[in-house]
Each structure stands twice: as structure tokens, then as C-alpha cells.
Structure 1
Amino acid sequence: MSGESKVPNPITGDVLVRGFDRHMGVRFVSASRDEVILEYDVDERHLQPYGIVHGGMHCATIETACSTGAGLDAMQRGLTVVGVENHTSFVRAVRAGTIRVTATPITRGRRTQLWEATARDAQGQIVATGRVRLLCLQPGTELGGAPVPRPGSSEE
């Protein structure tokens, strides 16, 4: 399983990147309840027709970073989180290189959390910024037709 990040999934507690993040080559550099850093190397999967990183990729990686941090925080209270709002601004076009996304909390309340993230290119220039609001959920709350699993459980 080479190439997989070894950071706890805030929902299941496992340590493998899955689904979209895995498919898109996202790697976690570090993750805690106070800061999450992830990165990816730009390749064909990430580009829109003009040959620059698709805005949806910036939105997705900003949401991944913010959701991971919020999830790690919520786990300490036996909760999980789900994103309810993502506002991402595209600052500079990127065609190649490594993008690094750093997310930190603005506020961590009982019911919601607000996180902000900045995506930078290999030269340290800001390429996108975003804020993600997340809702804290109790285990068993129905979401998408199924109950939310207990943090750290293997249920999915």
C-alpha cells in the first residue's frame, strides 16, 4: 500500500486516504485538531481545459484539510462533522508543481466549527484561500439515508 497517507480518518479512525482524496493523489503531511497540512503534485487529473488546476480541486482539497482538522477535534467529544458550506477563492493560476494546503480553526463550537485554509504553490505564493463551516453530529444521526458512524468505529 505504498503512497497512502498515514493520518487518522476522522470518521473511521483508520489511517488510509480513501476515495476522492486517494484518487486525486492527496498526501497528508501532518494532521491535528489545530492544524492540517496536505499536498498534491499537479498532474493531468487536476487540470481544466485551459491547462490550469481546476477550481474544484482547490475547493476539494481545502474542504479535505478543514474537515480533517474539524473531525479530529470532534472525535475528542465523541462526535463527527460534515461540511455545510465551502467558500473558496481562486487567487492565482497554477499549471504544474506541488500544491500545499494548510488549514487552521477559526472557531470550534459545540454545534459548528469554522476553519480556514490557504493553498500555496512550490514558491509559497497563495493560489487559493477558503473557509469551510462544519456541523458537529452525534453518532447515529441520519445522513444521506444512513446513520453516522461512531468516531473510531469501522462502520462506514
Structure 2
Amino acid sequence: MVFFAVTFNDITLIDHKAINISQLNEFGKNTLAEHLHMEVTEVTENSVTMRMPVTSIVHQPMGLLHGGAVAALAENVASLAGNLVAHASGKVCVGLSLNTNHLKGVRDGYVVSTAVAVHLGRSTQVWEVQTKDNEGVLINVSRMTLAVIDKK
């Protein structure tokens, strides 16, 4: 799997034109992302978007989308975005912390999460993730901090 990033005015951006979304989705095979049917839908120079269907697989007992499933989606999209950027310097990103705020319940359809960089440092990255429902209504806001480490 090859990821791409470019540096412009000392800001590392994702080289979104070189990204093959099918390959990114293939990279998630046999992981939590596959089991929850998460898929990458868009990559831009400064964001990554993924979606997940809201079915009984990700419901809590009240028939609503489980907060842990939303958190998993937020962590997946932020981690992917971070790794797309870090790869340019031969590094990888791993999660340090995730803060998530649930704003509205969802029973069905899809939820869509978009990660946008807040901070891209040499040793850490911070990503804000907004998750919206089918109608574009904000249902969750998360912030993910990633450690940038050497590949092993």
C-alpha cells in the first residue's frame, strides 16, 4: 500500500490526486472497519471522509447508533488521514487519545465522518472529525490525537 503527501509552504497536505480509494478500502480488509462496513468515500488535500451504514450491527439496545461505533468511525478516519500525511516522511501514526461528543441519535441510513487536520507536527497530529447523518445534520464531533512514530 502506497500513500502520498506533498509539502506546500511547510504544510504537509494529502496528494489526493494520487490516491486510489479502492486501494484504501482494500487496506481495511479483515479489520474493524470491514466488520462495521466502513468505507472511504473521499480524499481531498486536507481531509478524508468515510461512511458507515446504520443497521442493527451498530445499534445499542435502544435501537440507536451505538456511541462506540461512531467513535470507531472517527478513529478510523482520523488515523487514515494522519497516516496519509505521515507516510511522506517515512513515519506512521498511532492513536494517543480520542475525545468524542454525541450530539444527536440516529436509527438508520448512513453516517458520514470527515477528518480535517488541526495540527500536523513532527511528533503529534490532531484531527477534528465531524460526523453527520443522511440529512447532513451534525450528530457527533470528535478530536483525535495521533503520535507520529518511526515505521517498525
User: What's the TM-score once normalised by structure 1's chain length?
Assistant: 0.80
| Contact kept? 1:65, 1:102, Cα under 8 Å | yes
Tell me, yes or no, if structure 1 residue 68 matches structure 2 residue 84: no
Specify the alignment match of 2:116 in structure 1.
104
Tell me, yes or no, if structure 1 residue 8 matches structure 2 residue 19: no
| Distance in 1 separating the partners of 2:44 and 2:90 | 16
Q: Return the match for 1:59 from 50, 71, 88.
A: 71
Between Structure 1 and Structure 2, the one with more strand by share is 2
Tell me, yes or no, if structure 1 residue 21 matches structure 2 residue 33: yes
Equivalenced residue count is 131
- Unpaired runs of at least 5, structure 2: 1-20
Specify the alignment match of 1:154 in structure 2.
none
SS state at 2:135 partner? coil
The share of aligned pairs that are identical, in percent, is 26
| Contact kept? 1:120, 1:126, Cα under 8 Å | yes
| Distance in 2 separating the partners of 1:86 and 1:123 | 25
TM superposition shift of 1:86: 0.1
Between Structure 1 and Structure 2, the one with more helix by share is 2
Please show how residues 114-133 of structure 1 align to structure 2 within 5 Å: 114-133=126-145
| Distance in 1 separating the partners of 2:103 and 2:121 | 29
Specify the alignment match of 1:50 in structure 2.
62
| Distance in 2 separating the partners of 1:68 and 1:33 | 13
| Contact kept? 1:31, 1:68, Cα under 8 Å | no
Tell me, yes or no, if structure 1 residue 137 matches structure 2 residue 149: yes
| Distance in 1 separating the partners of 2:86 and 2:23 | 16
User: What's the TM-score once normalised by structure 2's chain length?
Assistant: 0.82
Quick one: which amino acid aligns to residue 132 of structure 2? R
